[in-house]
Structure 1
Amino acid sequence: MLLTTQFRNTVLNNANKVGIIDGDAKFTYGEFGERVKRLAGKLQEMGVEKGDRVGLLMFNSFRYLEIFYASFLLGAVVVPLNIRLAPPEISFILNDAGAKVLFFHREFIPVVSRLRAELPAISHYVLAEEVPAAEANAVFYEDLVSEPVSLREAALADDDLAGIYYTGGTTGLPKGVMLSHKNLAVNAYQVAVAIGYRHDDVYLHAAPMFHAADGASTFAVTMVGGIHAHIRSFDPRLVLETIQREHVTSVLLVPTMINMVVNHPDVNSYTLSSLKKLMYGASPIPAEVLKKAIEVLGCEFFQAYGMTEASPCLTILRSEHHVVDGSQKDTRRLASCGQALFNVDLKIVDPEGREVPYGVVGEIIARGPNIMKGYWNRPEETAAALKDGWYWSGDMGAMDEDRFVYIIDRKKDMIITGGENVYSVEVENVIYQHPAVLEAAVIGVPDEKWGEAVKAVVVLKPGQTVSAEELIEFCGTRLANYKVPKSVDFVEALPKSGAGKILKRTLRDQYWEGRTRQVN
């Protein structure tokens, strides 16, 4: 399966149908397809060839879609960057990927200007905006699509690389997840089947388009010929306004976003009856939030579980299983992340890879055509994650007799806060750079708004002082804001094993006492 085949078929079969909405911008699929081809031709003139990497440092935009598909036509590889990353993180990723071109939005002009000297591989910078800006010192996007150009499309195979999506790494450095055309196209098909996307759907890009989570719906909606609607970034009022104005039928949000939307003070003044499907992920939705969301939105809810390495979806908790006032089994299922998607093999295993009985906790492993090719330039980490065709997720879970999956804990030191993954070691590496710090451990603690919050537990060097506020500010200059600790505890010593390993579980237990799961 190729993303380019889906793109071509939809453009040809729906040439006169509106396919793109972004504020005042509206394009038919025919117009969209022409812009994509023009952009691809210009990128080719710039020297972009099959296998070259194309960086995107952008908010949501219809141009995001155009860059995706233009790159795919050339056989180039997209590298979407999290817009909340700090400059050092952005620099590392672009250099690690060896990006040749960088598309960026006006908000990032200062960052891009600062980083240019650190990015020798990038030969072209493109300001992806409606109007040019001289201070950007970049090619203006609309100049690239202003006229037809010749294009030699690449010969592609299913396993050719389509995207490198960076995620946190257990070594403290981001690692690039290599996703092929087949990976992304198959998962789009799996999601389209599970959610029931149709040609008359209007899908709202409210969650960040740099996330693989939005990507599954992105490619699924294109595949069925649905309409893409965009808002630049998440804002609950803007979500409500856009649902009403554009008659949005489907959207993906994380539970914290859902909570903000349904509790917006003006929510009842909007007409939201067009909304039929809401997909969410990152964590189960609290029952009270779900009740309020069903009352306010009245649509079907679907929970997806997965990770970037799975392109990203592995399981779906379908709408019929979102029962808030049902039986004991119904209530229990709300704490699950559903059942495996079509064509996904999923097992719960012990450390030796033996499948455990229903109800017993083990590591979640999966295989299928949506599982990544591996980690970019990380052969050892690839070998550790992919064994005999199975992806070892690092998530600890259990399966009930109906094969519903329940996430119990994370084997990896990872925190999910507001839908974003934070690896403890990334934050610890920064904290250790402070001259007053002797030892540090970073853990996730329960948080009503964000699911989990990042907490640092720190031992200071003898005679040294630093306040929690100063340490948080120190981290803020070196890390994306969602990775920065929300709180800091200072202790005399950290609990350690006989081998001297810091026992984070002992630290975490005091905050998770009385909870059935060690994730939120």
Structure 2
Amino acid sequence: MLLPKGLLYAARSYPDKIAVVGGNHRYSYQQLEIRTAKVKASLSKLGAKKGDRIGLLLLNDFRYLELMYGATALGAIIVPMNTRFSVEEHIYVLEDAGVEILYVNKEFLTLIPEIQKRVPTIRHIILAEDENDQALLENKQVESYEKLLVSEPIEILTYDDIHEEDIAGLFYTGGTTGRSKGVMLSHKSLVANAMHVVINFKNKKEDIYLHAAPMFHLADQASTFAVTLTGGTHVTLRQFTPKGFLEIVEQERVSMTMLVPTMINMILHSADFEKYDTSSLQFILYGASPMATELLKKTMNLLPRISLIQAYGMTEAAPILTLLLPEDHNVSNEQNEKRLTSCGKPVQLVDMKVVGPDGNELPTNEIGEFVARGPNIMNGYWRLEDETSKVLQDGWYSTGDMGYMDEDGYFYVVDRAKDMIISGGENVYSVEVEQALYMHPAVLECAVFGAPDKEWGEVVRAAVVLKPGVTSSEEEILTFLRTKVANYKVPKSIEFLLELPKSGAGKILKRVIRDQFIKQPVNE
């Protein structure tokens, strides 16, 4: 199945049903099809063709849906971009993907001169805002999204010579080498994930889904295509705040959403929590980072009517591998309470097992690496054949995550991928931050690691050894880092040491450093 077919099915089945709500805009499925057809036609007029990469540097916006369906109907490849990246990271993604057409919101207009100077392959930059937006009137470097649509007479969406194995999206994630890798996800992978959502979440046309988590993130897109396929309504929250979330839930009678644990924590601790009517909310999908058991219990206590589902997966799996279903969210006995620490069971079309270093499957309750296969698994990494061959063998994807399976088939993660930190739902790879630290002239050695945090799940911390005879301060180094990596990757604190503990082979022992410093809280 192809992604655009989901929109076409909804437009034929529920033409007058409200499909999207964003700002002052409300469009039915018939109107969404018309606008999406115009997006496809406008892309074609701009010179886009099958296989071309289309960059999406957008906050949560109903136009995200039009672009995803319109670009993929043309056979082009969408490149959703992390809005929290630094300009250096944006430029790396744009160059690596070979993006030629870039869509932006007005919040990113200040980046345009640098992007135009350093990424000459980009032929068109299009501002995805209302036609009368002042930012468009004042900026001559960009083209108008709405004007391009108005100029197109086409009103019926068709899809060209595309196949389910064709790449639909290029999703960038941090790499263990410190460089982002583009994960190639096909139409088949994304549709398979959507079907897993429909089956397990029991999506229906009455659903009103709030895009509160970033739409560039596959954690949110886990539900995006499923909601369209079943004729539900998409509501977009441009940028998350607890108050903004609560307001729109009450205003639009939102019934389902996806949140990372950090967002849940912020909502529950918000002074506005009791001020708004959240009775319409029936379902919350959570995931993208570990959720503390105490926070999960608090959520269940304060929102007892809401069904909770935990999703475990990664970008390479489009993203869902396992689910912990609503019936598993109870604390009636010790066994059930332990199950809250599980990531659940594999979804219907996914096979998953735990293997040892030799690749052989391990017995229950023995810790090893999770490997998985299924129609949702990626095609590979963009232009990185060697990296792909390391993690894809005979159809099995090596997740790099360690854990075990119990006697009832529930999986438990005991350690995330080596040295990866998950802070507020965002993946932070320590090597990337270390490479930035090593660019500082005063740094001799460093180690970056994650420490538990009540608000963010984990926070980034660093240990640094300065060069002999050189001085520097924590604030000076942190200020330097903010110019090299996104803010969420910058350590919350730096510990200065005379030397770092090392193994006999000379490798830095991060485990020793982590054990020493996680006892020192950063949230005093």
Instruction: Specify the alignment match of 2:310 in structure 1.
Output: 303
User: 1: CA distance between counterparts of 2:327 and 2:518?
Assistant: 30
Pick which of 277-286 and 117-126 moved more: 277-286
- Compute the displacement of 1:199 (Å): 1.1
User: 2:76 aligned with 1:76, yes or no?
Assistant: yes
- Compute the displacement of 1:15 (Å): 1.0
User: 2: CA distance between counterparts of 1:179 and 1:222?
Assistant: 19
User: 2: CA distance between counterparts of 1:510 and 1:322?
Assistant: 34
User: 2: CA distance between counterparts of 1:171 and 1:294?
Assistant: 39
Maintained 8 Å contact 2:261/2:291: yes
Residue 152 of structure 2 is aligned with which of 148, 152, 160?
A: 148
Superposed CA deviations along residues 394-453 of structure 1, whole A, max 9, x for unmatched, are 000111111111110134221101100011110000000000000111111111111111
Correspondence 1:95-494 to 2 at 5 A: 95-130=95-130, 131=133, 132-135=136-139, 137-150=141-154, 153-297=159-303, 298-324=305-331, 326-494=332-500
Instruction: Specify the alignment match of 2:510 in structure 1.
Output: 504
User: 1: CA distance between counterparts of 2:7 and 2:364?
Assistant: 42
User: 2: CA distance between counterparts of 1:149 and 1:43?
Assistant: 14
- Compute the displacement of 1:352 (Å): 1.3
Secondary structure of residue in 1 paired with 2:235: strand
- Compute the displacement of 1:381 (Å): 0.6
Maintained 8 Å contact 2:182/2:382: yes
Pick which of 67-76 and 282-291 moved more: 282-291
- Amino acid corresponding to residue 319 of structure 2 in structure 1: P
Secondary structure of residue in 2 paired with 1:336: coil
Q: Structure 2 unaligned runs (5+)?
A: 520-524
Secondary structure of residue in 1 paired with 2:72: helix
- Compute the displacement of 1:5 (Å): 1.3
User: 1: CA distance between counterparts of 2:101 and 2:457?
Assistant: 36
- Amino acid corresponding to residue 223 of structure 2 in structure 1: S
Q: TM-score, normalised by structure 2?
A: 0.96
Maintained 8 Å contact 2:289/2:426: no
Superposed CA deviations along residues 179-214 of structure 1, whole A, max 9, x for unmatched, are 000000100110121122111100000000000111
User: 2: CA distance between counterparts of 1:247 and 1:286?
Assistant: 28
Instruction: Specify the alignment match of 2:3 in structure 1.
Output: 3
Superposed CA deviations along residues 120-160 of structure 1, whole A, max 9, x for unmatched, are 11110000011223325111111011143358742111100
Superposed CA deviations along residues 51-102 of structure 1, whole A, max 9, x for unmatched, are 0000011100001111111101100000000000000100000000000100
- Amino acid corresponding to residue 4 of structure 2 in structure 1: T
User: 1: CA distance between counterparts of 2:391 and 2:472?
Assistant: 39
- Amino acid corresponding to residue 259 of structure 1 in structure 2: N
Q: TM-score, normalised by structure 1?
A: 0.96
- Compute the displacement of 1:469 (Å): 1.0
Maintained 8 Å contact 2:291/2:457: no
Instruction: Specify the alignment match of 2:90 in structure 1.
Output: 90
Secondary structure of residue in 2 paired with 1:133: helix
Maintained 8 Å contact 1:106/1:136: no
Maintained 8 Å contact 1:437/1:461: yes
User: 1: CA distance between counterparts of 2:334 and 2:30?
Assistant: 51
User: 2: CA distance between counterparts of 1:9 and 1:350?
Assistant: 44
Maintained 8 Å contact 2:37/2:158: no
User: 2: CA distance between counterparts of 1:163 and 1:34?
Assistant: 22
Change over 3 Å in CA distance of 1:327–1:512 after alignment to 2: farther
Maintained 8 Å contact 2:4/2:159: no
- Compute the displacement of 1:13 (Å): 1.3
Superposed CA deviations along residues 194-241 of structure 1, whole A, max 9, x for unmatched, are 122111100000000000111110011011110000110111111111
Secondary structure of residue in 2 paired with 1:107: helix
Maintained 8 Å contact 1:86/1:479: yes
- Amino acid corresponding to residue 449 of structure 2 in structure 1: I
User: 1: CA distance between counterparts of 2:153 and 2:76?
Assistant: 18
Identity value in percent: 49
- Amino acid corresponding to residue 45 of structure 1 in structure 2: K
User: 2: CA distance between counterparts of 1:290 and 1:169?
Assistant: 30
The count of corresponding residues between Structure 1 and Structure 2 is: 512
User: 1: CA distance between counterparts of 2:517 and 2:4?
Assistant: 48
Maintained 8 Å contact 1:100/1:124: yes
User: 1: CA distance between counterparts of 2:485 and 2:7?
Assistant: 37
Maintained 8 Å contact 2:324/2:345: yes
- Amino acid corresponding to residue 137 of structure 1 in structure 2: Q
Maintained 8 Å contact 2:392/2:398: yes
Secondary structure of residue in 1 paired with 2:400: strand
Q: Structure 1 unaligned runs (5+)?
A: 514-520
Change over 3 Å in CA distance of 1:133–1:329 after alignment to 2: farther
User: 1: CA distance between counterparts of 2:514 and 2:294?
Assistant: 25
Pick which of 109-118 and 432-441 moved more: 109-118
Change over 3 Å in CA distance of 1:307–1:136 after alignment to 2: farther
- Amino acid corresponding to residue 71 of structure 1 in structure 2: A
User: 2: CA distance between counterparts of 1:196 and 1:332?
Assistant: 26
